[in-house]
Structure 1
């Protein structure tokens, strides 16, 4: 079994059942007197997503400790984590806070403040107020820049007015963050990759209708698991997008449901080839998609899995 399939198997075998167990535990209790489970409340989608996040962190899903190669990789990761934490602490000690750093010539900020798994929120160590003074006009990649920064960045960054005119890659920039600032004025006209940009960003629900999407090739997983997001994206120029796999939707195993329900029928999807899982468990989506031109689409697997309503007419014909 290859690593990807083994990872998926482990998640389904161990992690998903634990997520369901934790949700059930929080929603009720076992009455020993009557010998049955008593449900007292129902967690909403955001609360269920938070449970999922907690379980994954506790179990460090997909790290196969029985595999010698994976054990080696885990040791390397721990070493890198310790070095990174030590480096950030040393930076703060020697250079102070980074709020007014001159970053005018920086081109790559990938994973700069990533807070992966057991990291101790590194951005808090070096940021006194916010990043509003940073000149990021030459930055081309912000891939994973705030990856998994759950606790601090909700509305503390003040990056609404950043000059992102050179940006080409913003994939996973706000993945699993608490980010909720309005960045509708960002210049994303050169961006090609938005994969996972707001994936599992539990609090984000800001307008993005001003974004110039003409050069974007992928929005795969862009809003997947973003349980609060419900903004109108009709104005987007999607004519060059090739990959829309798992763009919307939630997590079937943990029953985390997104609320997204905005019209998308005006989207030009004439270049799209991959729509796998695009509305996976998007149970609240009730808009018509009948007018879409899906002539170039090669993959529609699981596109409407978990839906409570009927799929478009063209889907039934495939």
Structure 2
């Protein structure tokens, strides 16, 4: 029966389409939206892993992490690959971070680290944080348009929040976040002068790194967390 099904699929789909079909049903991809501002713009995806298969909206498929768009415009980028453990824009020079507009899905990847540092066009990410992530240091550092409601994120597995909102405009309610396992909050709100939310319900243990956590932040003293 399986051979019969395979034969039918081969008849219906060419090799490229069959490849897409197999991936679609066995592995959900990472999906991003890029807003390309100029013709002949080259981008680089800051991910690791191997066996990459990157599908661009205009049906261009690549195995490399770089691609040049002939025309400016908005593009959906679909990313398949094995052992992808990070998305880290902090590894790129600042001018390569300008074009990411939205992250639609993290797929079924087993990411450990996510950072959109300096992604100044970013406005939206998935509503849920995947459970495998434990490092969100510099996640929204120096973002200039991101202010999404991420109140319901499950942060119980997070260890590193260092510089998460550094120099960002973020100002949303996050008082209900679980910070029990966090070890590093240094520079978390450094120069985040828009952030004024009440997080006084957080209880931060003395062994947690809180160096310069609120330096330059807009938060008032009464809204800061309890140190124990």
- Shared fold per TM-score greater than 0.5: yes
Structure 1 residue ranges, 4+ long, deviating more than 6 angstroms after superposition: 102-105, 151-154
Larger radius of gyration: 1
Q: Do residues 267 (structure 1) and 192 (structure 2) align? A: no
Q: Which has the higher helix share?
A: 1
**For 2:182 and 2:160, how far apart are their aligned partners in 1?**
6
Aligned with 1:198 (options 116, 119, 133): 116
Output the TM-score relative to the length of structure 1. Answer: 0.47
**For 1:187 and 1:172, how far apart are their aligned partners in 2?**
18
Q: Do residues 222 (structure 1) and 132 (structure 2) align? A: no
Aligned with 1:231 (options 144, 148, 153): 148
Tell me, which stretches of 5 or more residues in structure 2 are unaligned?
Answer: 1-16, 24-39, 45-54
What is the Cα deviation at residue 297 of structure 1?
Answer: 4.9
Residue 308 of structure 1: aligned partner? 218
Output the TM-score relative to the length of structure 2. Answer: 0.63
SS at match of 1:158: strand
Length, aligned pairs only: 178
- Over aligned residue pairs, what C-alpha RMSD do you find? 3.9
SS at match of 1:183: strand
What is the Cα deviation at residue 184 of structure 1?
Answer: 2.5
User: Which runs of structure 2 are paired with 1:36-185 in the superposition (5 Å)?
Assistant: 122-123=42-43, 131-132=56-57, 133=59, 156-159=74-77, 161-163=78-80, 167-172=84-89, 175=92, 176=94, 177-185=97-105
Tell me, which stretches of 5 or more residues in structure 1 are unaligned?
Answer: 1-99, 106-119, 125-129, 251-257
Given the superposition, is the C-alpha separation of residues 272 and 288 from structure 1 closer, same or farther in structure 2, using an over 3 Å criterion? Answer: same
Compare relative contact order (CA 8 Å, sep 6+) and give the higher one, 1 or 2: 2
Q: Which has the higher strand share?
A: 2
Residue 283 of structure 1: aligned partner? 193
**For 2:90 and 2:204, how far apart are their aligned partners in 1?**
29
**For 2:72 and 2:153, how far apart are their aligned partners in 1?**
25
